[in-house]
Amino acid sequence: MSETLEVRTEGRLRILRLNRPERKNALDRDLIGGLHRAFHDAAADDDVWAVVLTGNGDAFCSGLDFSETAPTSDGAPAPRAALRSHLTVVMQIECEKPILAGVNGVAVGAGVSLAMNADIRVAAPSARFHPGYTRIGLSPDLGLTWTLPRAVGYERAMRFLLEQRMVPADEALALGLVGEVVEHDEDLDERLLEYGTMLANVAPIAARQTKRLMVRAEQPTDLVAHLDAEIELVMQALRSQDSAEAIRAMQVRETPDFQGR
């Protein structure tokens, strides 16, 4: 497994830790590929009955590593974009075991998307959530346009995505972005192990069937096509003048001047 992702097993619980703390656990191709393999492995391992996903350092995931966002020379989405998209399929459909996300710090953009792909979320008090995408002139990907409205409802999802503000842990709890906030940051790992172990002690066939039915109940008619559409629109936006202006303005801390092009 990649050094950017730590993997260990406690009894029947598989624990995954994003391990790029120097980059706030930003998702590069190596880490995305590691996650893809780790969830495939957990799904295929009959001795694993539940999965925990969290991060090392002071961030859960700061989003996509922008050194790897460029489209291919012919304008088609890069292979890494498809890999990012189909991570949702792996977590939601192929890995039918319960997935618990522990949001240990800031989650931005694709980091929010990653957390929302888990079935259950617990946050540290220092956790913060920012939609990220429209700040750099992009629409969401990694399944967020499907998972977020399921969790918080349509209007709350639209407000979160378009208001472009940092949402603290207590507000995230009220919105439904997470289901629990621990009392102190240092309590999070213990709580993840405790709750994850509880999930891993549920009758495994019942747990898998429950997740299968819950996902299917609100799944788009063609989830893969929906995810592909997300990625295609992101790649289109990355080629726009507005996206370039948004990234420039963010880097120099100016207000972007959008032209709709």
Q: How far is CA 151 from CA 30, 53, 145, in A?
A: 29, 18, 11
What is the distance between the alpha carbons of residues 132 and 234, in angstroms, rounded to a whole number?
13
What is the distance between the alpha carbons of residues 121 and 165, in angstroms, rounded to a whole number?
20
Q: What is the structure's pLDDT at 218?
A: 82
Q: What is the structure's pLDDT at 73?
A: 42
| Domains: count for the chain | 1
Q: Mean pLDDT per segment of 10 residues, for the chain of length 261 residues?
A: 89 98 95 95 98 98 76 46 78 96 97 98 98 90 95 98 96 98 98 98 98 91 87 86 85 88 88
E strand intervals along 98-238: 99-103, 106-108, 120-123, 128-130, 167-168, 180-181
Q: What is the structure's pLDDT at 74?
A: 45
Q: Is residue 198 part of a domain?
A: no
Sheet of strand 106-108, all strands in order from the earlier edge strand to the far edge: 59-61, 106-108, 128-130, 167-168
Q: Is residue 150 part of a domain?
A: yes
Q: Is residue 252 part of a domain?
A: yes
- Angle, CA 42 vertex, CA 38 and CA 43 arms, to 5°: 115
- pTM equals 0.91
CATH of the domain at 175: 3.90.226.10
What is the distance between the alpha carbons of residues 15 and 188, in angstroms, rounded to a whole number?
13
For residue 96, give every residue at least 6 positions away whose Cβ sits within 8 Å of its Cβ, in sequence order, or none. Answer: 43, 208, 211, 212
Q: Is residue 236 part of a domain?
A: yes
Tell me the residue range of the domain where 122 lies.
1-184+203-261
Q: Is residue 140 part of a domain?
A: yes
Q: What is the structure's pLDDT at 83?
A: 67
Q: What is the structure's pLDDT at 207?
A: 98
Strands 167-168 and 5-10: unpaired
Q: Is residue 214 part of a domain?
A: yes
Q: Is residue 61 part of a domain?
A: yes
Strands 99-103 and 13-18: unpaired
What is the distance between the alpha carbons of residues 48 and 70, in angstroms, rounded to a whole number?
37
Q: Which amino acid, residue 94? A: E
Q: Is residue 155 part of a domain?
A: yes
Would you state the torsion angle of the CA atoms of residues 16, 22, 27, 32, taken in this order, to the nearest 10 degrees? -40
